[in-house]
Chain A
């Protein structure tokens, strides 16, 4: 088997070299065929040394995290947790970080399901976001304090257009709702994604347990357990990844539904929008894929991973990103046309608040960054085929998601009386103060810091998956040119 594998790889490499880096009808750098033996050694060497860029990144993100903690403490000291209004930007930051980091592992899960070979170099990059799940749990704790109770506390003075029980997806409020359920959801996501990461990394850790030294060696020996790569173990690992992946996906959709509903939709009186949870999840997937592509690009451009990340990853992922971008616009339009055409006074106020008079500027930036720019970029084949185009579109989508979180969550926090039956006026927009800015950059920096720490423990390349992919893909002569042969086991 090993002989066949290396034959295929060398065959492909030989052809690629013969044709000056690309073969037949293929584009330069589209496909790479890494040497499996070198790959293991290379990954071990990369983890054992600390590049200067990485040290700088860790210091920078840690500095941002400290700023965030300062902002948080200052906000808590000044305003306490009784009123949700001052915490709008904190909620927006949590939403932004959560939607990206919890959505990212889906890239590995979904494309593993569809048996897409191009996903192999991307898998670990996306799975490593599981570690940021711990950061999400910590940052969610203050969010529980901010959330107003479901029952109107002031039942003795309920006004004409005020509700005894505010509108939530929890209705009369099952035990612990919404706080305990939200927390359980976020903890569940973190634990499941960590399990997925562990299960996916077991073969790589087992391979490296005898060569890695120090803490990493101890950790690998502990986590790799009795993995020897028997057929039974491989089958169990793949079945486990499939089952956990399906569970994670369903749990994620549920948790994103409750978070988006509890902290945005149900905070705005009279705002009833069945498409909003779907839209939130879509935004999460769009920028999560964008984030994975940015990391891939950085690692390829500056991290020396060029021989592992071919352009095919960007090319294939760009089509998915384009699809998600179009779906984003479609869902936004579906909401807008229904509200706008309906001409109901109360719905018009919601539109004016979130898309017009109050947060119109933020909304415009949101649409430009989440849809217009990525769409215009990804429309072009040469851009989609490049290594820089899809990450650039991804970056735009991420900034768009930040705008989205600001208008929905800051808007939700500052929409007045949460027990009002409807929004009978258009509240004014709220702009960030210095502590808000600290919390926003601190939240983003903190998540980035945790991710960077994770990359020092596990390689950002799923070695076994890339090796497996090399068995299924090779270059081969076909009529007059060399073409990729792609095998898919049923």
Chain B
């Protein structure tokens, strides 16, 4: 609910929320060029890697998963913001979700696309990834050698789950966009008008169309939830099913990863909302109470995540198995991992939760931005700390292989480019689609009312059930 805000006319909503599309901000070209150059650098590094082979990375036996897989898990995690905010909050009828849903859904799509680039690059020969999934009879090389896709491998479940999630997320975004496309269709000319006309799919806003659109939204929200949970669970099982890597074979990994993903994803969305408010002047729509509500949600999510983290660590020690204790020793006692571990726990839980607890801090956008960035630094480190120390101690008799993984410049360039890519895609899409759903905001304007209790007016809404 929005506190003490005066009603906003539809005309004003249209003009303010379509500002990112109908007018080109001055900074857009500069930002696009800078981010584009970083992305180009990343793609060049990936090309160099493909050309020269894996020797240009810091990966070596037994640490064959490093920055790329860490980054893959990180971006999959960010993608969990969309469904968390859009589907779950829609089903639970949380009014404050309205301005956050679209940005969250779009961030989901782009982070999933970015995430899926990571394992492709990680293969070294991306074009051969097809053999993980399909056997192609007339493509002789792998088929002739009897290399069949192993459907029992989590590495096959993974792309299946992620692509299902990507497809359903795109569908989810498009269904929600139809009424807004119609608004854009009526306010554009030329080629833009023709494109928006196709995308609006004949939307006229009659009662039947609204009814179908609402039913589709609710149904998709319910249907996407199992996909949402399955995606990060399956990503976690990439690790959990590997019994040879101590600390990975843990039953708690699936929910632990999912809660962690929601934690990082919702923090990322809160940060994106603050940025959008600043650059497009959407103070009327992204209000401190929305960020406050996200902050309160994040306290719960963060504490839930911390509980799973403690369970994971505690039961790591519980078994008192020498191999596992060796990895824990590496993570907690040996430099630099112990430093990373402290930074990770501090930035993921203690710092942000301390910042989210006071109401005044939750409504301070600078403090909220700091907390949200802190969470994502921590969550990136979390995946790194899970992956590398476990692999370093993978096999008992490989002491001669023992290497300290040091990421190369190529890996840094590619990882940096993924952040630039998501940022670039977000600012470009903001030129094409409204990042705050117009119809959702208008619906709230229709449904909002007040209840007078004594001398106090309390914000209220009409509810159907």
Contact = CB atoms under 8 A, between A and B. Distances in A.
A275 B318 CA distance: 13
A485 B250 CA distance: 47
B210 interface: no
A51 interface: no
Contacts of B249: 338, 342
| SS of B interface (majority) | mixed
Decide if the interface of chain A is mainly helix, strand, loop or mixed. Answer: mixed
A487 B451 contact: yes
Given A167-B320, A272-B318, A278 B451 contact: no
Nearest to B226: A326
B464 interface: yes
Interface stretch (B277-285, B306-314, B327-335, B370-378): B306-314
Interface residues of B, number: 43
A105 interface: no
Interface stretch (A86-94, A361-369, A386-394, A472-480): A472-480
A342 B311 CA distance: 20
A117 B451 CA distance: 14
B162 interface: no
Given A4-B453, A330-B229, A488-B459, A341 B241 contact: yes
A489 interface: yes
Interface stretch (A24-32, A286-294, A407-415): A24-32
Contacts of A342: 241, 243, 249
Contact of B453 (A168, A276, A471): A471
Nearest to B316: A274
Nearest to B307: A253
Interface string B115-132: 000000000000000000
Nearest to B234: A337
Contacts of B451: 8, 471-472, 474, 485, 487
A344 B463 CA distance: 53
Interface in A121-143: none
Interface in B272-319: 289, 307-308, 311-312, 314-319
Given A342-B241, A490-B289, A274 B250 contact: yes
B9 to A, nearest CB: 19
A191 B77 CA distance: 40
B452 A4 contact: yes
A272 B449 CA distance: 54
Contacts of A490: 1, 3, 289, 459
Interface in B410-465: 449-454, 458-465
A483 B463 contact: yes
A274 B314 contact: yes
A158 interface: no
B318 A167 contact: yes
B251 A486 contact: no
By size class, the interface of chain A is 35 or more
Interface string A253-278: 10001000000000000001111111
Contacts of A274: 250-252, 311-312, 314-316, 318
Contacts of B253: 334, 338
A471 B455 CA distance: 13
A25 B211 CA distance: 14
B464 A1 contact: no
A476 B233 CA distance: 45
Contacts of B254: 330, 334, 338
B454 A476 contact: no
Given A1-B453, A490-B1, A478 B462 contact: yes
A312 B465 CA distance: 8
B36 interface: no
Given A274-B312, A344-B243, A486 B250 contact: no
B42 interface: no
B255 A486 contact: no
A118 to B, nearest CB: 11
A273 B249 CA distance: 10
B390 interface: no
B255 A334 contact: yes
B240 interface: yes
Contact of A272 (B92, B319, B462): B319
B444 to A, nearest CB: 13
Contacts of A171: 317-318, 320
A487 B460 contact: yes
Interface string A1-36: 100110010000000000000000111001000000
B20 to A, nearest CB: 29
B68 interface: no
Interface of B: 1, 3, 91-92, 229, 233, 237, 240-241, 243, 249-255, 289, 307-308, 311-312, 314-320, 449-454, 458-465
Given A334-B254, A485-B462, 11 more contacts: A1-B453, A277-B311, A278-B307, A319-B92, A330-B229, A330-B233, A339-B251, A341-B241, A483-B462, A488-B1, A488-B458
